[in-house]
Amino acid sequence: MTGITDLCHPESVRVAAAHQAEAEKIAAELAAIARSGMVLPGSVTERRTRCGRSNCACHADPPRLHGPYWQWTRKVAAKTICRWLSADQHRDYAPWIDNDRRLRELLTRLEALGTAALEADPRWNRQPRHPARDAPHSPRTGEDHSI
């Protein structure tokens, strides 16, 4: 943090040193993943199947199912989209999906830091609460109300 004091808002929020250190660790990992460019949404499921030929080994006892096949699944505009991957595509892209999951974990940790900072704000103790001001219909608090 810089030593600059905002004269209009002398008590504006400062990020605590531990918070800042944690944020920098998160930022470094986020940047490393982003720089790799290897980020893929969705998930991969392994599938083993039976075919329609009754004399095939997949219908034997015990059965030898076909596969494994890998199905990449993701949501696009609330619809689930599936696509079959070859074995080598699965091998190559599985780490990309892991990276995507890690990005989300890191963002969640950043958000938790911000939430903890707000919860720890000493002004909560000084100011009386104003329930009316926090009411969901109050104007211009606009969290989910885009234009």
Question: Using the rule CB under 5 A, which residue among 56, 94, 103, 117 binds Zn ion?
Answer: 56
Tell me: does residue 51 bind Zn ion (CB under 5 A): yes
Q: Which stretch binds Zn ion (CB under 5 A): 14-22, 25-33, 44-52, 102-110?
A: 44-52
Site string for Zn ion, 108-147 (x = CB under 5 A): ----------------------------------------
Closer by beta carbon to Zn ion, 46 or else 92: 46
Q: Following DSSP, what letter does each residue of the chain receive, concatenated?
A: ------SSSTT-----HHHHHHHHHHHHHHHHHHHHT----SEEEEEEE--S-TTSGGGSSS---EEEEEEEEEEETTEEEEEEE-HHHHHHHHHHHHHHHHHHHHHHHHHHHHHHHHHT-THHHHSPP-TTTTSTT-TT--SS---
CB of 49 to Zn ion, least distance (A): 8
Tell me: does residue 58 bind Zn ion (CB under 5 A): yes
Binding positions for Zn ion, rule: CB under 5 A: 51, 56, 58
